[in-house]
Amino acid sequence: MSELVKYSTRDGVAIITVDNPPVNALSTGVPAGILAALKTAEADATVQAVVLAAAGKTFIAGADINDFLNVVAGKAELPVLHPLLHALEDSRKPVVAAIHGMALGGGMEVAMACHYRVAVPDAQVGQPECKLGLIPGAGGTQRLPRLIGPLKAAELCAMGDPIPAPEAVQLGAVDQIIQGNLVDGAVAFAKSIANRPAHKTRELTAKLAGNHSAGFAALREQVRKAKRNLNAPQVAIDAVELSTTLSFAKGIEKEAELFKQCLRATEAQALIHAFFGDRTVAKIPDVPKDTQAFPVRNIAIIGAGTMGGGIAMAFANVGIPVRIKDTQEALDRCLANARRNYENSVKRGRYTKEVMEQRMSLITPQTSYDGFDHVDMIIEAAYESMPLKRQIYSELDKIARVDCVLATNTSTLDINEIAVATGRPQMVIGLHFFSPANAMRLVEIVRGSATSKEVIATAMAVAKALKKVGVLVRNGFGFVGNRMMFPYMYEAQFVVEEGATPEEVDRALAHFGMAMGIFSVDDLGGLDVAARIREEQHQFDKPGLRKPLASDKLVALGRLGQKAGKGWYLYDENRKQTPDLEVVALIRKTAAEAHIPQRTFTEAEIIERTLYGLINEGARILEDGTALRAVDIDVIYLNGYGFPAYRGGPMFYADTVGLKKIYDKICEFREQHGARWEPAPLLKRLAEQGKTFASFDAEKAAHA
Ligand SMILES: NC(=O)c1ccc[n+]([C@@H]2O[C@H](COP(=O)([O-])OP(=O)(O)OC[C@H]3O[C@@H](n4cnc5c(N)ncnc54)[C@H](O)[C@@H]3O)[C@@H](O)[C@H]2O)c1
């Protein structure tokens, strides 16, 4: 047999084992290997039944997504699974899929073409293609409804979430749960059904009967809300609905057509870009994969405030013990918050009370530096003050082991200045977590000029251990994410001072797909925090630079945002937001006093004024090397700033709009609004050459 597919027999049962680590994807060679093994089993008179299983940690977890990219790039034809699936289904000997781990996408489609499916209790099955902007393309939308009914099948294909095996048994997608050894159980099951006539999934019709049109209409509406702005989930519903009106043969023909349409659409390209982005950011040209990272088995945190508490939970969640130092009062508050947070998860059934207690037991509160001399990493999350941080770092220098990584969670301060407060600046790095740190997936990893490669490798490994995505950035005010936020936020404020309302701006951004509008974001972060940064960084000291006016007035009125119950919006005790006419009146009055002409804005104009400023800054960041690649900026915005994944991140989005179009618009804005709209030189260059940010990344990779 092939390397990728193994064949053996036991007690008259052939066992076909897919062995294509790490996830047994259906890469080239795997379908052909299964087919060849099946032919061998059919030709062997001693074989009565067949088990299709997989080696390693999972059943077939899906297609090889690189294959899809090659199709889009015109380098390959779309791999077609139907001959294999028909061969499995037409086999004269019953075929049993033995599922552990995940049977997803193409893996589930293979399993459904088998005559039976058995699974271990913690296995999961599903059709998650819509998460990549696709639909099942190998009969999934036609076989699944025949097994579990069209409405449930449409729901699973449109939502994309896998279901646990016991639920799949109830629905009819899996026939039996196997306790104990899966292959042993599957062989026993195969023997028990060997002489029974096996049904072909594609010929089942019972569950398709009835009129489902009202159910489909309701589902479309539900999915429209849950999957805002997304097309693939709706197409998945269309495809499943076709199973109720077309023959199987016509159904898979139509499914293939719809799949190809989805694959070529921007939605899929963006989601696939985001999917591979997570992997790309792990590649750091001057820190090779084999760089020796320091082991991080335990950590300590300084500061048990908003960030320190969240970071402690993030480590406890993955079983890493944490010491946390602050005042007794701050520690009490921090532990009470952590407990409340965990209790809510227990109430929602995410895990048991025992798991919660185990996580709580990993967090040791303390008011002293006791034990800090033993830990592998210390993360400082004290107030944002350079003198305080320098003081803390000079103390740590006396306590911490020489091989202890010293990380700071600062969001605005200079890592180099903090690092030189120690005698070992090579051990100092920024770990910029996002709030709430136990939930947010992004960590900006900030390298100082002295940070060692081993310390960078350690920080990347820690982000991975926390199940987060670490993106390496260079030191510099606001790093990547926050630096791009400034032009975005200020332009939004100028737009409201020119006649729009905060609600209109936020609505336009929500329609675009941002998780939160920029004024809601400002209210969450605190208007006073933003004002302090404006002040400390002298952001508007340059003569002739337009300064936002209304936000300072809101701060003076005590409208500091959510924490004050009012900011750009009003908030009730449940933090429910409502627009406030008083704010609009204050903005209008401010604009009148400053003689700012008033006008109305379309949503498209609002998006251009706000997001093009953000993209322009992104181009500067790319050029000055603060971010390694455009895709790194995208990953930061997708995971830390609520940028919609189906737009691929701001730089990918810019490529889809066209850099020339964006550049021309920015030049127009410069004519209208002055120097703050100076186009980034890189943007100008790429636009003039007809290139994209993606091509910039590709050229950089080629020279690395
Ligand atoms: N809040 C955010 O959204 C956010 C996001 C990213 C980064 N940050 C950064 O994280 C850091 C902490 O921010 P926060 O929002 O958690 O602040 P916070 O005010 O909620 O908490 C700071 C805590 O540090 C404690 N502290 C001060 N000096 C200390 C010392 N010498 N030893 C021990 N504890 C000490 C304080 O008692 C307080 O409990 C800051 O550098 C901030 O810029 C904040």
pLDDT confidence band for 528 (50 / 70 / 90): very high
**pLDDT tens for each residue of 461-487:** 999 999 999 999 999 999 999 999 999
Categorize the per-residue pLDDT at 215 as very low, low, confident or very high, splitting at 50, 70 and 90. Answer: very high
Q: Which residue has the tokens 């059934």?
A: 349
333 Cα nearest atom in ligand 1: 39
Q: What is the pLDDT of residue 1?
A: 55
The answer to whether the CB of 302 is under 6 A from ligand 1 is: yes
Q: How large is the average pLDDT for residues 6-33? A: 96
Indicate if ligand 1 lies below 6 Å from the C-beta of 443: no
State the closest ligand 1 atom to the C-alpha of 382, by its place in the atom list counted from 1. Answer: 24
d(CA 388, CA 410): 12
The mean pLDDT of 92-120, rounded to a whole number, is 98
Rounded to an integer, the average pLDDT of 68-83 is: 84
Distance CA(450)–CA(426), nearest Å, equals 5
What integer pLDDT is reported at residue 43 of this predicted model? Answer: 97
- Residue 202 Cα to ligand 1 midpoint, Å, equals 60
Find the 349 Cα to ligand 1 centroid distance in Å.
31
pLDDT of 309-357, one tens digit each?
Answer: 999 999 999 999 999 999 999 999 999 999 999 999 999 999 999 999 9
SS3 letters for 364-417?
A: EEECCCCCCCCCCEEEECCCCCHHHHHHHHHHHHHHCCCCCEEEECCCCCCHHH
Position in ligand 1 atom list of the atom nearest CA 334: 39
Question: Could you tell which of 395, 411, 636 is best to mutate to test the pocket of ligand 1, judged by most ligand atoms within 8 Å of the CB?
Answer: 411
- What pLDDT shows up at residue 160? 98
What is the pLDDT at residue 704?
A: 74
Instruction: Give the pair of three-digit tokens for residue 17.
Output: 């084992």
CA angle, corner 564, sides to 562 and 566, nearest 5?
Answer: 65
Model pLDDT, residue 523: 96
Average pLDDT, integer, range 285-290: 95
Side by side, which strands form the sheet with 124-126? 102-104, 124-126, 163-164
Our answer on whether the CB atom of 172 is closer than 6 Å to any ligand 1 atom is no
**Integer Cα distance of 653 and 659 in angstroms:** 10
Measuring CA to CA, which residue among 201, 171, 176 is closest to residue 188? 176
* Closest among 658, 617, 664, 660 to 637, alpha carbons compared: 617
Atom nearest to 525 CA in ligand 1: 3
Q: What's the CA gap between 419 and 414, in Å, rounded?
A: 9
410 within ligand 1 shell (Cβ under 6 A): yes
Output the DSSP codes for 293-331: PPP-S-EEEE--SHHHHHHHHHHHHTT--EEEES-HHHH
Please list, in sequence order, all residues whose beta carbon lies within 8 angstroms of the beta carbon of residue 136, skipping any fewer than 6 positions away: 105, 108, 109, 127, 129, 144, 157, 236, 239, 255, 259
Name the more confident of 497 and 537: 497
Helix 603-623 and helix 630-640, axial crossing angle in degrees, nearest 10? 130
Structure confidence by residue, pLDDT tens digits, 391-428: 999 999 999 999 999 999 999 999 999 999 999 999 99
Ligand 1: does its nearest atom lie under 6 Å from the Cβ of 502? no
Among 80-84, 157-161, 502-506, 642-646, the minimum mean pLDDT is found in: 80-84
Residue 383 Cα, ligand 1 centroid: separation in angstroms?
4
Q: Distance between CA atoms of 348 and 377, rounded to whole angstroms?
A: 33
- Tell me the β-bridge partners of 287: 284
- Among candidate residues 109, 444, 491, 608, the one labeled active-site is 109
> What's the pLDDT band for 381 if we cut at 50, 70, 90?
very high
pLDDT over 60 (residue 657)? yes
pLDDT of residue 634: 98
Q: By C-alpha distance, which of 682, 691, 681 is closest to 658?
A: 691
Does the annotation count 109 as an active-site position?
yes
Q: Is 384 in the pocket of ligand 1 (CB under 6 A)?
A: yes
**129-147, pLDDT tens digit by residue?**
999 999 999 999 999 999 9
Distance 409 CA to ligand 1 centre (A): 8
- Residue 545 confidence class, pLDDT cut points 50, 70, 90: confident
If residue 125 lies in a helix (H) or strand (E), which one and from where to where?
Answer: strand 124-126
Q: How far is the CA of 240 from the centre of ligand 1 (A)?
A: 51
Residue length of the chain: 704
Closest ligand 1 atom, residue 330 Cα: 39
Mean pLDDT (whole number) for 529-544: 86
Residue identified by tokens 């508007």 is 540
pLDDT at 74: 82
Q: Which two tokens stand for residue 679?
A: 């186009």
Round the average pLDDT of the chain to a whole number and report it: 96
Give the pLDDT band (50/70/90) at residue 195: confident
What value does the mean pLDDT take over residues 435-459?
Answer: 97
Write out pLDDT tens, residues 151-164: 999 999 999 999 99
Closest among 166, 41, 158, 156 to 108, alpha carbons compared: 156
- Type of residue at 689: Q
Q: pLDDT at position 535, please?
A: 86
Statement: residue 245 has pLDDT above 70 = yes
In this prediction, residue 606 has a pLDDT band, given cuts at 50, 70 and 90, of very high
Catalytic annotation, pick one of 129, 380, 491, 617: 129
Given the structure tokens 């390959």, which residue do they identify? Answer: 76
Q: Whose CA is closest to atom 40 on ligand 1?
A: 384
Most informative mutation of 301, 302, 307 for ligand 1 (most atoms within 8 A of CB): 307
For residue 469, the SS3 value is: strand
Distance between Cα 664 and ligand 1 center (Å): 42
SS3 431: strand
pLDDT, residue 80, reads 86
Alpha carbons 341 and 16: distance in angstroms, whole number = 46
pLDDT at 500 over 90: yes
CA gap 494, 508 in Å, rounded: 15
Burial of 349 (C-beta count, 10 Å sphere; 0-12/13-18/19+): exposed
DSSP symbols for 20-38: -TTTT---TTHHHHHHHHH
Q: What is the pLDDT of residue 66?
A: 86
Assign 94 to helix, strand or coil.
coil
Burial class (CB in 10 A: 0-12, 13-18, 19+), 688: exposed
Residue 536: per-residue pLDDT: 84
Active site residue 42: no
- Which domains occur in the chain, in start order? 5-264 (3.90.226.10), 299-475 (3.40.50.720), 482-703 (1.10.1040.50)
Question: 535 C-alpha to center of ligand 1: Å?
Answer: 20
Ligand 1 atom 12: residue of nearest CA: 381
